[in-house]
A and B are shown apart, each in its own frame.
Chain A
């Protein structure tokens, strides 16, 4: 059966060029980059090349990139590392719709007595910068705001937020895991102190991430050990995956234009097609400020898991913010924070595209989705007005 993969905010297909770049580091170049012999030492410069490739994608200096095990580790290192090293007590400011990799470390810090402020979002999933100003007025803060939301694709005004944070003397971290490779990012133009990114969201494999740490930013490591990564992250370097992430970032720089034009057009085709063929749908999130690849759309009066299982039977992979898919009883915290009414919250579906999708993929979905919606509405006891 045909597979149409539209769940790229969950994970992406590793690019063939990435896998190809990684393979020699399993078979021939398997030495330890810290070794004082040529066999290991020759691997070292490949790690540094990868570091330069990652740095180039976001306009950083090579020495400002630290490799980590995943995006979650990057977020934990950024938040816990800066709060724990602070000389004077700091507040933590974040938003209600962050990924758990940010929310959970913040909640742990809260349990330890650190004041944590979670900014609300409006119906479009946007923060209000006045709320941030108010929160910053309460004292020095470590601020963690996502560049783009994984569920809705909503893009926060990170540049403006970073300006406010720096003006107030705070530390600014952004979880840019969904944004890197999909939007142009340049840390020379945005006064960020820390930025998280993850390999498997931009066509590298799972198990590799990076944290941009602006030079001069003090931070306590999470993993204590050897001198690797300038002492900021102990542990022998995961060389094949570091090389893969470097190659993926190099590719992403080249395909960025395609992401923001062709992929966005495919997403818009999907959104328009669904809106034209299915009644009672609503697009969730700020469509003016949104990732080019993401569509979060609710089908009222039906439930998300049922839609996903029928889509899966057609070979279509998507995801849902419904309660039933998470194993919890409530819809996703992002959808709830936006105040989406229950008739739509349980039926939210996220389609997230990549550069590997084609017009034919989108047309296949538009052919198969409307009958599924019709069938489930026929089963639903709630009459569609």
Chain B
């Protein structure tokens, strides 16, 4: 079973504000049957422009129902400006936390709210206002949505993005694109404060780091590339940049960029240091 908090279970067993408001001021529908969860949110404003009443209907797992219920409790009585600032993390916090793989439930809540507010302001009634380029076609997730969950939750891996908004969790074809989005946003952001737990591992001297990189390339990476008649050469290590050259079949491979990120960088981050960046030698 999932490790749900008592609050999640309470909101699942006794969901607040279930239903639809017939003469709603704003309606937001997100998700779909295919995705495995969907949420319809309706709200009514009072004369001061505050959310006087809000109701939801949800198709989904226990945490999807609980997140929807929590969202309605959170935004009741707020102005739309205030409600618009509610993040998915606020929903998760209200529930005392959600399992990482279930964070997308809280994101669905925030998205439904956004769509409902947009519906009130613009009158658009489309089920989901898809703006910008769709990155994940399996779950219909746009680049904007991915950028937002990555920024707001400081995500660093494709798996986290999948946990938060499902993108990349279907056929997996868009994973390199998600990886690129993460890299772009991380480049914009100041470095995150060091992780509180011991995930970063012991501090390595430069010499130790280079040796560990060599060992990882030898034992973990080269055998994987050899399977496809490829090979790799370690050229240089400059701070956290690892410069390599791909050889053999990899040298002409069109998906070599994915290999660099998904295999080489992922392995080096796992076995050496989480902040390593792999670059291909320009020569």
Residues of A at under 8 Å CB distance from B?
111, 301-306, 309-310, 312-313, 322-325, 327-331, 342-343, 346, 378-382
Contact = CB atoms under 8 A, between A and B. Distances in A.
Interface string B247-283: 0000000000000000000000000000000000000
B59 A305 contact: no
Contact of A381 (B38, B162, B170): B38
Contacts of A323: 36
Given A111-B227, A346-B59, A379-B59, 20 more contacts: A303-B37, A303-B59, A305-B62, A306-B60, A306-B65, A309-B9, A310-B13, A313-B13, A322-B61, A324-B36, A324-B37, A324-B102, A325-B61, A328-B169, A329-B36, A329-B166, A329-B169, A330-B36, A331-B36, A381-B59
A380 B58 contact: yes
B36 A301 contact: no
Nearest to A382: B59
Contacts of B58: 379-381
A111 B227 CA distance: 9
Give the most central of A302, A309, A343, A381: most B CB within 10 Å.
Answer: A381
27 contacts: A301-B33, A303-B60, A303-B61, A303-B64, A304-B61, A305-B62, A309-B9, A310-B13, A312-B1, A324-B37, A324-B63, A324-B64, A327-B101, A328-B169, A329-B166, A329-B169, A329-B170, A330-B169, A331-B36, A346-B59, A380-B59, A381-B29, A381-B40, A381-B59, A382-B33, A382-B38, A382-B59
A377 to B, nearest CB: 9
B57 A329 contact: no
Contacts of A313: 13
Contact of A343 (B18, B33, B61): B33
B116 interface: no
Give the most central of B18, B33, B102: most A CB within 10 Å.
Answer: B33
Contacts of A312: 1
Contacts of B35: 329
A302 B33 CA distance: 9
A306 B12 contact: yes
A373 to B, nearest CB: 13
B195 interface: no
Contacts of A330: 36, 169-170
A300 to B, nearest CB: 9
Give the most central of B9, B29, B60, B227: most A CB within 10 Å.
Answer: B60
Contacts of A381: 29, 38-40, 57-59
Nearest to B167: A329
A260 B170 CA distance: 40
Nearest to A383: B57
Contact of B18 (A305, A310, A342, A378): A378
Given A309-B12, A329-B169, A379-B18, A303 B36 contact: yes
Contacts of B120: none
Leading 6 A-B pairs by shortest Cβ distance:
A324-B61, A305-B61, A329-B169, A381-B57, A381-B40, A342-B34
Nearest to A341: B33
A379 B170 CA distance: 26
Nearest to A329: B169
A322 B36 contact: yes
Q: Is the interface of B mostly helix, strand, loop or mixed?
A: mixed
A205 B166 CA distance: 38
Contacts, number: 75
B139 interface: yes
Interface residues of B, number: 32
A287 B228 CA distance: 45
Contacts of B38: 381-382
Contacts of A303: 36-37, 59-61, 64
Contacts of B169: 328-330
B15 interface: yes
Contacts of A342: 33-34, 36
Give the most central of B61, B162, B170: most A CB within 10 Å.
Answer: B61
A298 to B, nearest CB: 12
A379 B55 CA distance: 10
A313 B33 CA distance: 26
Contacts of A111: 227
Contacts of A328: 169
B59 A302 contact: yes
Interface in B176-215: none
A374 to B, nearest CB: 13
Interface string B39-63: 1100000000000000001111111
Nearest to A320: B61
Given A330-B170, A331-B36, A379 B101 contact: no
A346 B36 contact: yes
Given A324-B60, A327-B101, A330-B170, A379 B65 contact: yes
Interface in B1-40: 1, 9, 12-13, 15, 18, 29, 33-40
Nearest to A324: B61
B33 A346 contact: yes
Contacts of B33: 301, 342-343, 346, 382
Nearest to A377: B59
A309 B57 contact: no
A381 B18 CA distance: 10
Interface in B213-265: 227
Contacts of B34: 342
Nearest to B41: A381
B69 to A, nearest CB: 9
A310 B66 CA distance: 13
A193 to B, nearest CB: 30
A325 B4 CA distance: 13
A329 B139 contact: yes
A329 to B, nearest CB: 4
